[in-house]
Structure 1
Amino acid sequence: MLRSHRRLEGAPLHQSDEARDLIYHFFTDAYHLKDWLRHDPDLALSRTEQQALESHISGTVALAWCADVCNGIKHMDLTPGRERIPGKPAKLTSQNVSIMLGSGGTYSWDVTFDGQKYDVHRLADEIVREWTAWLQAQGYLQ
């Protein structure tokens, strides 16, 4: 997940296909970290610990939105029965270009949740912070 985050941070977002691939890769890696944790034989999470992990994801805005984006990429729809934050699902919705005469342009991508737009980079940073805090709280990171 951290490698995907670093790639996304340094990405030239003006190349739509490349940028979309990097964004999708980050959100998929970030969400699937929970699967890697659940199936890591060294951790051997109990059923209760696995349920607590799922509840943490569903109850943490950035991680829940990450799950929405990832499931939307993979399935074109949300996984039925998964706990969600109330509101319309989060999804990658737009690429934005701001042109400034004489100094080039800036590019950004948005995730939209319940009608509000959020910058992909800011959301990615928050996802990394949330995972880092959870992993530290569990004693998996120093």
Structure 2
Amino acid sequence: MLEQFERAKRYLIKIENLYAGIFSSSGHDKEAYDDDDVVSFFIHCYHIRDWIIHLNKSGITKQQVDLYINQYQALKICSDLANGSKHYKLTRSLRTNCQPYISGTGVSSIWYTGNGGGEVMRCTYTISSNAEFFDALELAKECIQLWESFINELTIMKDQHCPGN
């Protein structure tokens, strides 16, 4: 379970880096600024669910994990964004009322002339869900915090059921 959680955290770092800025000595490289890393974060983040269910060591059920997800708007958006991005046709119902999507990308650049020159591109991403707009980085951070809390609860449950582990 922790392997998938760590993978999602690595994608969070990629989003943070996009927001902080990417340096290019050759100017703007559109491939470096697409939304693939943002979408990949939400896919990997949502699939922490599967790892919890399949590596279950604390007796938690799939329904309990889904109940946890459904308590939090950030995890519901993460779920629907991941499934909508990953599957051509959804076979499960949405947790939100309307399929979330990346509705906006902001890009700003700063040119540097010293030290060989180059450009720093900073990106921001907006996610639309149910006629509301969310900053992708803030949503991603909230999802990681929620999963971390849940994983900590599971660890406590496991330790209570299996002393000495």
- Give yes or no for TM over 0.5: yes
- Corresponding pairs, count: 135
Q: Is it true that 1:135 corresponds to 2:151 in the alignment?
A: yes
Q: Could you tell me whether the CA contact under 8 Å between 1:111 and 1:117 is conserved in 2? A: yes
Partner amino acid for 1:139?
T
Gaps of 5+ in 1: none
Residue correspondence of structure 1 range 1-142 to structure 2 within 5 A: 1-11=8-18, 12=21, 16-18=30-32, 19-40=34-55, 43=57, 45-46=59-60, 49-76=61-88, 78-81=90-93, 84-85=95-96, 87-98=97-108, 106-139=122-155
Q: Could you tell me whether the CA contact under 8 Å between 2:14 and 2:37 is conserved in 1? A: yes
Rounded to whole Å, the distance in 2 between the matches of 1:99 and 1:6 is: 20
Between 1 and 2, higher relative CO (CA 8 Å, sep ≥ 6) is seen in 2
Q: Cα RMSD (Å) of the superposition? A: 2.9
Q: Could you tell me whether the CA contact under 8 Å between 1:110 and 1:119 is conserved in 2? A: yes
Bigger CA drift: 128-137 or 11-20? 11-20
Rounded to whole Å, the distance in 1 between the matches of 2:29 and 2:76 is: 27
Q: TM-score, normalised by structure 1?
A: 0.77
Rounded to whole Å, the distance in 2 between the matches of 1:16 and 1:108 is: 14
